[in-house]
Amino acid sequence: MRKVFKLDEIDCAVCAGKLEEAIKKLDGVQDAKINFLTQKLTLEAADEDFDAVLESVVKLTAEVEPDCEILR
């Protein structure tokens, strides 16, 4: 499943790139893309554990970029 989320307060392009790399390394994430300009996160994961993966993505984001929030 592929879903797009709005990222709030992502202010720096380098940070966006780093966050994208970090999310890609998470278990269960098939693909992740962060578009810095449109402030969007595209997350791809298997249907059955999408919610769990999203949960870990949110947790990771809070760690790496505390200012940035994933709007669900």
Strand order across the beta sheet in which 29-35 lies: 29-35, 40-45, 2-8, 69-71
**Of 36, 56, 58, 69, the one binding other proteins by CB under 8 A:** 36
Q: How far is CA 9 from CA 32, 51, 59, in A?
A: 18, 23, 16
Site string for other proteins, 44-63 (x = CB under 8 A): -------------------x
Q: How far is the CB of 49 from other proteins (least distance, A)?
A: 25
When the beta carbons of 35 and 49 are compared against other proteins, the nearer one is 35
Q: Is 33 in the site for other proteins (CB under 8 A)?
A: yes
Largest CA distance in the chain: 33
